[in-house]
Structure 1
Amino acid sequence: MSKDIRIKKGLNINLVGAAEKETTKAVDSNVYAIDMADFHGVTPKMILKQGAEVKAGEPVFFSKDIEEMMFVSPVSGELIEINRGARRRILSLKILADKQQETLAHKPLDLEKATKADVKAYLLKGGCWPFIKQRPYDVVAHPDATPKAIFVSGYVTAPLAADLNYTLSGKEAELQAAITALSKMTPGKVHVSVGKDATSPLAGLKNMELHKVSGPHPAGLVGTQINRIDPVNKGEVVWTISPQDLVVLGEYVLTGKYNPERTVALVGSSVKKPQYYTAKIGAEISTFLYASGVEGDNFRVINGDVLTGLQSAPDGHLGHYNTTVSVIPEGDDYEFFGWNKPVFDKVSVSRALTFSWLQPNKKYDLDTNTNGEHRAFVLTGQYEKVFPLDIYPMQLLKACMVKDLDEMEHLGLYEVAPEDFSLTEFICVSKQPHQKIIREGLDLLKQEIG
């Protein structure tokens, strides 16, 4: 039996360049990268030295604070580069892949007999633990914590995001193994959300509670679903994991082998043939970017969706958690008196000289132009129109900016992640970096309160 969740507040951003349901295997990358920015708050301690040979699934480094938490190589090859920044902080690693891949094999996990401790130890040593994130703080989950619930969002509303009903097709066995393993990690429930009108491979799984979600973005964000199902209060912990990461985790449980392959949606109006590619985590984006063709030479590659992704070079590498690569025109041109004339080709929640509200299903070809620069952070009432959480967004943002810990706690910072403010950032007339403000607030709260 499922429980319906209907979200009314929000805004769908319909963009040109959705991926056709056609999947091609990307050309094997020569070099794979592990970017430490993907693991926010983790201080790496190297196990291997530069020049060492490594197998796929073999630990390369561990967390300084949690020594049993291993981070493994996506491929077999040679560790050719350890990129360091200020104070010798490790920023990224690069691995030159072998032509013949060799994978480190573990004994498959017996899910019927496995205890919570067995599952935890198995995921930690195999490098699958970093797929599990926690709230509060939106960081890699602490293995000693006991989550009151675990959440998986199989409903996608982000602009041009990969269609999970398509990418998860045929992966029911891996998904079930992962859900069964995770169900042993919590005394509560594993909550799985799917679209109300869609048939999802996640819908028929056991050992979980199913929710059918409908509504505009950000209805598909796991934070929105947590807020409606089982909100996070002070002293509580919940875990989250994305569906494609469930597949990697489930395959590891069933076979004992770490296979970080995923189906990536290459999307955006600058892509001539948007479609899906299978590639491994850390692969060079250029291995599938130019296979589809790119319009012009003035474009931006975004590692992720257009609201939450990070800018990347065309020869950058696929992020650890990303299943979408977006390519849209670079917005480095400006309209003369653009603020003082009717606008027909942009998305806006305001009805002042804008008309997107008249055509809610129209698809837009947007660029990266912010249409303005930083200005006074003023109260407009617009954020509340697209922010469905039971939280005051403006007040929480200002509390984070002035570093008021008490107000940050009282206003619900424990419950949110930066991505929950991606839509308010998109419509912000003050052009403030909402996600950065929330990230800094979470870091401060974790540092001061823990």
Structure 2
Amino acid sequence: MSKDIKIKKGLTIRLKGEADKTLSNAPRSRTFAIRPSDLHLVTPKLVVKEGAKIQAGDTLFYSKDNEAIKFSSPVSGTLTEIERGPKRVITKITLEGDQQDTFKDFGVKMPDAMDAAAIKNHLLVSGCWPFIMQRPYAVIANPEQMPKAIFVSGLNTGPLAVDLDFALHGKEKELQVALSALAKLTEGSVHITIDKDGNSPLAGMNDVVLHKTNNLHPAGNVGTQINKLDPVNKGEVVWTIAAQDLVIIGELFLTGKYNAERIIALAGSSVKTAKYYRTRIGSEVATFVYDSGLTEENVRIISGGVLSGTAISPKQHLGFYDTAVTVIPEGDDYEFFGWNKPIFNKISTTRALTFSWLTPKKKFDLNTNTNGEHRAFVVTGSYEEVFPLDIFPMQILKACMVQDLDEMEALGMYEVAPEDFALTEFVCVSKQPHQQIIRKGLDLMYKEIG
């Protein structure tokens, strides 16, 4: 039975530079890269060597902790470099792509004619399994566990994020096949949440339970949806998957190809032409950033959204799970007495010398300046105003900092991920790295409790 969601706590951050609803093919990237750091807690074990010729879909490496979880090449070409860090830990695998991809054939299959074990094996062998994440711990799902439910968010409410109604347009067949396959992997339901005012291609899917929500951020976060629909308790597991990754899985079943295509939103106030590009996982960011052009030189390029993305250089590559590249001004300049005068060009949840509340529809041109230095936690009540989960944000952050596992469990750590604390980090007057604190807390629980 469907259940609509309406959150009242949150913050919609309106920024200049939203991507226009036009789609272009990004120039073919010369190199592609997979960074194991994007695949949290995965220790890669290589199955190919430098100089090897590979097809799109060939296995590059598998997880040391679970050899069944394989990671495939997004393109065909030559493995040119294996970059290693301290203790010979693999930090990046670089591929030089062919002019045109050739694909490994995994065979056309129909989920309706397959049982759960066959579907799971197909996803593992092809390299599509890493798209399925799990709560607790916000890591790649353990294929040996049975989730009580699977969640897919059909909307992005974050600032300058990809519009899924646009990105998924025309992919209804692939979406349906993927969802029918996933429905066989859970004893519960596949939950999809869409914008109540949108026109989502996911609205007419079968084998799912459809929910609608308002578009106040973070309603689009899958963690918010889990909390409101089916919270995760101790001993329970739910799986999540990004909507665009459903398309890759659906195409695998329909064509037998691992087609690691991404539609990314190139956005931000420092981009000349903010629009959508069709590219591939791990492509060089410069291919579409320089194709669009920049309005200034001193910028920060972010693989992902402005709240949770990773700062990179143009010569680096798109993150494994990222569907946006955001370019905003670098905030390395400081205002003299900036804290002691009326402010009209910044967003604030307080009314202390700030006036953004007077213009709720205004779009702002913000930079990366934190407008203050790191300091001790100050109890202001601002976290609770933007945090819609039924969890105490300040208390759970402090429990993570002191590594109190019992308190972390009691406060609801099993159902959160770092992105759920992006807004509390944004409004934090203490400039504490909330997402980093939560990530370290989850890693500690995974190590100690498993």
2:314 alignment partner in structure 1: 314
Describe how 1:241-252 pairs up with structure 2 within 5 A.
241-252=241-252
Q: Partners in 1 of 2:276 and 2:151 — Cα distance?
A: 26
Over the matched positions of the two proteins, sequence identity in percent amounts to: 61
Q: Partners in 2 of 1:69 and 1:386 — Cα distance?
A: 37
2:186 alignment partner in structure 1: 186
Are the counterparts in 2 of residues 155 and 213 from structure 1 also a CA contact under 8 Å? Answer: no
Q: Partners in 1 of 2:294 and 2:89 — Cα distance?
A: 35
**1:2 to partner: Cα distance:** 4.3
SS in 1 for 2:295: coil
**1:102 to partner: Cα distance:** 1.1
SS in 2 for 1:3: coil
2:356 alignment partner in structure 1: 356
Are the counterparts in 1 of residues 16 and 269 from structure 2 also a CA contact under 8 Å? Answer: yes
1:145 alignment partner in structure 2: 145
1:438 alignment partner in structure 2: 438
Counterpart code for 1:125: V
Counterpart code for 2:245: D
Write out per-residue CA displacement over residues 326-384 of structure 1, whole angstroms, 9 at most, x where no aligned residue: 00000000000111111100011011111111111110000000001101111111000
Are the counterparts in 1 of residues 112 and 180 from structure 2 also a CA contact under 8 Å? Answer: no
Counterpart code for 1:221: N
Worse-matched range after superposition: 426-435 or 2-11: 2-11
**1:110 to partner: Cα distance:** 2.4
Runs of 4+ in 1 over 2 A off after TM superposition: none
**1:215 to partner: Cα distance:** 4.1
1:394 alignment partner in structure 2: 394
- 1:383 corresponds to 2:386: no
2:3 alignment partner in structure 1: 3
SS in 2 for 1:202: helix
Are the counterparts in 1 of residues 195 and 215 from structure 2 also a CA contact under 8 Å? Answer: no
- 1:233 corresponds to 2:238: no
Q: TM-score, normalised by structure 1?
A: 0.99
1:302 alignment partner in structure 2: 302
Q: Partners in 1 of 2:133 and 2:121 — Cα distance?
A: 17
Q: Partners in 2 of 1:449 and 1:185 — Cα distance?
A: 25
Are the counterparts in 2 of residues 109 and 122 from structure 1 also a CA contact under 8 Å? Answer: no
Are the counterparts in 1 of residues 112 and 181 from structure 2 also a CA contact under 8 Å? Answer: no
Counterpart code for 1:153: S
SS in 1 for 2:4: strand
**1:100 to partner: Cα distance:** 3.3
Counterpart code for 2:445: L
Gaps of 5+ in 2: none
**1:205 to partner: Cα distance:** 0.3
1:268 alignment partner in structure 2: 268
SS in 2 for 1:257: coil
SS in 1 for 2:113: coil
Q: Partners in 2 of 1:155 and 1:68 — Cα distance?
A: 31
Are the counterparts in 2 of residues 26 and 287 from structure 1 also a CA contact under 8 Å? Answer: yes
SS in 1 for 2:403: coil
Q: Partners in 2 of 1:361 and 1:340 — Cα distance?
A: 25
Counterpart code for 1:70: K
Gaps of 5+ in 1: none
Q: Partners in 1 of 2:112 and 2:139 — Cα distance?
A: 30
Counterpart code for 1:328: I
SS in 2 for 1:225: helix
SS in 1 for 2:301: strand
SS in 2 for 1:248: helix
Are the counterparts in 2 of residues 386 and 423 from structure 1 also a CA contact under 8 Å? Answer: yes
Are the counterparts in 1 of residues 3 and 229 from structure 2 also a CA contact under 8 Å? Answer: no
